[in-house]
Amino acid sequence: MARHTRGLDVHLNGVEIRDSFAEAFPMRATRVVVTAETWGWAETAGRTATGFATSVIACGVEAGIERRLEPHETPDGRPGVALLFFAASSRELERQLVARIGQCVLTCPTAACYAGIDGERRLPLGRALRFFGDGFQLSKRFGRRRIWRIPVMEGEFLCEHDVGMVDAVGGGNILLIATTADRARAAAELAVAAMREVPGVVLPFPGGIVRSGSKVGSKYRRLRASTNDAYCPTLRGAVASALPAEAGSVLEIVIDGLERDAVAEAMRRGIHAACSIGRSGGLLAVDAGNYGGRLGPFHFHLRELLP
């Protein structure tokens, strides 16, 4: 893929890589492994548990399916999925985790739930959910795992006692500025596919893509976030727009990762994949969202991510 520097401009395959950076924030995160008798039920449990988890602003947690797990990778030898959960505080992460595993995995046919990450700081799983067994629950220790067997109408729900919690990075992002909505979506879908190959990250929004990026605050006092008008193509003439004249649509991809390097790698792969359609394919520029660098300690400069 051709990379050209014209003066201070940087282009990748004809697509402008703007001199901007994504501003990300420290988060608390954990990984949970959910298994079931079939891939279908494992993914159903995983999707349900990570549903309505796009943004901490309104959902409390950001979550997604990190990847499928082969039977030989799971504690009980069944198909599984690895789920990542990110929250702004350990307290909120604990609250969301117990509620989501309790309502979405405990209830799901054949599903079982195990810790997928270690760490000195622990979050309760079975430690909290065991009480559903109403005194008939039993615990078993296998190696370092303490497993609760909770009797349910289907049979038994297996749930690990607790799971590790780690410091993580949330809010990595790229903005794809394209000539039309179709072109923006095509570029974003390529980027999402490439970014999902990176271990330790999730893209929490629908299909990994955000069409309604937000700015902080609003003219309405009670609203904490509102539409990012500088990137709305239909407001180009009415606001201080960040869009070129040819721009007809912008899509954002938000990345949460267990480590800074994982977020950076996902952004790098995403930029390259999106730019593969080139300017001739309708992608005009890649940008990133930030708050001037004053709020988040993690800065991912787009041009530094290029080789």
Interface with other proteins (CB under 8 A): 75-77, 112, 135-136, 138-143, 145, 147, 149, 155-156, 158
Residue 202 DSSP one-character state: E
Q: Is the dihedral of CA 40, 45, 46, 50 positive or negative?
A: positive
CB 107, min distance to other proteins, A: 16
Q: Three-state DSSP class for 55?
A: coil
Q: Three-state DSSP class for 27?
A: strand
Based on CB atoms, which residue is closest to other proteins, 77 or 244?
77
CA distance 191 to 84: 20
Based on CB atoms, which residue is closest to other proteins, 7 or 143?
143
CA distance 232 to 273: 23
CA distance 47 to 184: 25
Q: Determine which helix (DSSP H) or strand (DSSP E) holds 37, and give its type and residue range.
A: none
CA 234 from chain centre, in angstroms, equals 28
Is the distance from CB of 52 to CB of 98 less than 8 angstroms?
no
CB 158, min distance to other proteins, A: 5
CB 138, min distance to other proteins, A: 6
Based on CB atoms, which residue is closest to other proteins, 142 or 220?
142
CB 35, min distance to other proteins, A: 9
CB 50, min distance to other proteins, A: 23
CB 152, min distance to other proteins, A: 12
Based on CB atoms, which residue is closest to other proteins, 6 or 141?
141
Q: Position of tokens 């999925």?
A: 81
State the virtual CA torsion across 21, 22, 25, 31 in degrees, nearest 10: -140
CB 73, min distance to other proteins, A: 12
CA distances from residue 251 to 41, 83, 136 in whole angstroms, order as listed: 31, 24, 51
CB 140, min distance to other proteins, A: 6
Based on CB atoms, which residue is closest to other proteins, 77 or 297?
77
Based on CB atoms, which residue is closest to other proteins, 111 or 255?
111
CA distance 144 to 125: 15
Based on CB atoms, which residue is closest to other proteins, 76 or 182?
76
Based on CB atoms, which residue is closest to other proteins, 70 or 304?
70
CA distances from residue 106 to 97, 229, 243 in whole angstroms, order as listed: 12, 42, 47
CB 135, min distance to other proteins, A: 7
φ/ψ of 295, rounded to 5, equals -105, -40
Based on CB atoms, which residue is closest to other proteins, 138 or 193?
138
CA distances from residue 15 to 10, 79, 272 in whole angstroms, order as listed: 8, 41, 10
Q: Determine which helix (DSSP H) or strand (DSSP E) holds 159, and give its type and residue range.
A: strand 155-160
CA distance 138 to 253: 43
